[in-house]
Structures are given as C-alpha cells and as structure tokens.
Amino acid sequence: MLLCLYAFNVFMPFLMMIFNSFKTVRDLFLYPFSFPLRPETNNFIEAWKRARLANGYKNSLIVSLSTLVSVIALTSMFAYAISKHEFCLRRLLFSYIMLGLALPARLAVVPLFLLLNSLGLTDTLFGLIILFTAINLPFSIFILKNFMDTIPNELIEAAKIDGGSPFQIYRKIILPLCKPAISIVGIVTFVNVWNDFFFPLIFINDKSKAPVTLGISIFFGEYGNEWPLLFAALTLAMMPSLVLYAFLSRQLIAGMTQGAIK
C-alpha cells in the first residue's frame, strides 16, 4: 500500500501534465484533474513551432550527448586509476574531487562566467559542454569508484600476467564489468543536463543556440501563463529522458541493487 501511494504521488503530476496538454484553457481551469473532454492536438503543433523545439532539441542533444560521452570517458578512467592503482596522494586527490559534491556550482556562477568569458566560450554550446562536464564529474567519480572497488583485484592481476596493458585492462575488463554503474552515471548526467535551465539562461543569449528549457520559458508571461501550450511543450521535452531510461532501465536497476561482482 505504501508503494502504491508513493507511485501515485510520483505519477500523478506527469498524468496531469499529459492530460492538460490536450485541453483548452477553459477546460483546463474547469476540469483540471479530469481526462480531456475534447482532445486538442493543435497544442502540440503550436508549442513545437512557437518554442522552436526542433532547434531546441538539436542544441540540447548536442550538449547532453557530448557531456554524457565526456563525463563517462573522463570519470571511468579517473575512477579506475583511483580505485586500482597505488600512487602518492591518491586519497587526497579523491577527497579533493569529492568536495565538488558539497559545493553547489551555482554559487560560483560569477567566477565561472568571468572564466568562460575570458576564454571566449560564453554564448557557445562548447562552453556549456565544458561547464556541465565539470559539474557532473564529482558525482560520477563517486559512483564509479565505489563500484570499481567491488571488482576483485585478482582479475586485474591475472590480466597483467597475461600481458595486458593498463589501458587494455581498463577497456576489456573494467568497462564491461561497470556497465550498471555507467548506466546510472549516464542517465543522471543526461537528465541533469537536459533539464537544466539556470546555466543556459546565464551563458546563452543567442536564441539559435537555446536548448529546450529556454524555448519552453516563452510560455511564462508577465501577466499570465499559457498553460495548455506549456504542458504540451513539457510533454514533448521529457520524451528523450523517458526513451533513454527505457533503454537503460535494466542496467540502472542492476547498478542500484548490485553490491558485488557475481
């Protein structure tokens, strides 16, 4: 019963958003919790055009996928070095990286803006990719390092005896065993970058480079909000995250429940 109540609490806002995206303004305010009496599919067409979601999708996909690849590549190599190699200041370096979990990146928005502006990376998608990659490094390293700690060192020693180089061990042994943890990192990173509104608002001024979140914001007005169009745009915007989760859900559940390599 508790799980059913929790599931209802989680899914109800999504169902309301989808139902209300098919309503007119009048029906939305008269029957906010009901099924759409007269489904209005034009809301999606108008929202797609007015919010320029085609261009927003392109920009968001470029930033999200590029950040995803960068984060997985960098954090998996860093976590492998920290977890399976002994070198000076190893623990100090890991502790330094973990400080990023305690310090919100939004508190450093002014120095970040000055830094990117001095490098000529403001109002560019590449600047957003670098920024989001740096922001998502600490959490991703934390997840992958703790997962790699569960991999028996005997596997690595056996690979070394067979003549495997450190990179070959990383690519052929570590990465395949870490698929569940990599799925967690991938989903969390993609969703965080795709849904972020704050940093694109600060660093992007060119509308042609605006991601989905900035496009949707046009439906928030000074004197009122266009709720049906807003809900339609939000429904369209959340589809990539749902598709990614559908493909990686099994790996995600395995990574959350697997305590050791079996």
Token digits for 46?
A: 């108008």
pLDDT at 261: 42
Q: Is 80 part of a structural domain of the chain?
A: yes
Decide if 103 is inside a domain.
yes
- Taking the C-alpha atoms of residue 84 and residue 170, their distance in angstroms, rounded to an integer, is 10
Site of tokens 């700690």: 149
Q: How far is Cα 230 from Cα 219, in angstroms, rounded to an integer? A: 6
* Residue 126 domain flag: yes
Q: What is the pLDDT of residue 212?
A: 92
**Successive 10-residue mean pLDDT values, the chain, 262 residues:** 91 88 86 82 89 91 95 93 86 87 87 92 93 93 90 88 86 88 89 92 90 88 79 89 78 59 42
CATH code of 125's domain: 1.10.3720.10
pLDDT at residue 262, rounded to an integer = 41
Note the pLDDT of residue 241.
83
Count CB neighbours of 144 within 10 A.
Answer: 26
Residue 101 lies in a domain: yes
Q: Facing residues of 225 across strands?
A: 220
- The reply to whether 10 falls in a domain is no
Quote the domain boundaries for residue 194.
16-26+39-257
Domain annotation covers residue 34:
no
The model's pTM? 0.85
Vertex 193 angle, CA 188 and 196, to 5°: 120
Work out how many domains the chain is built from and give that number: 1
Q: Is residue 117 part of a domain?
A: yes
Note the pLDDT of residue 258: 56
Question: According to the model, what pLDDT value does residue 217 have?
Answer: 86
In a domain, 234, yes or no: yes
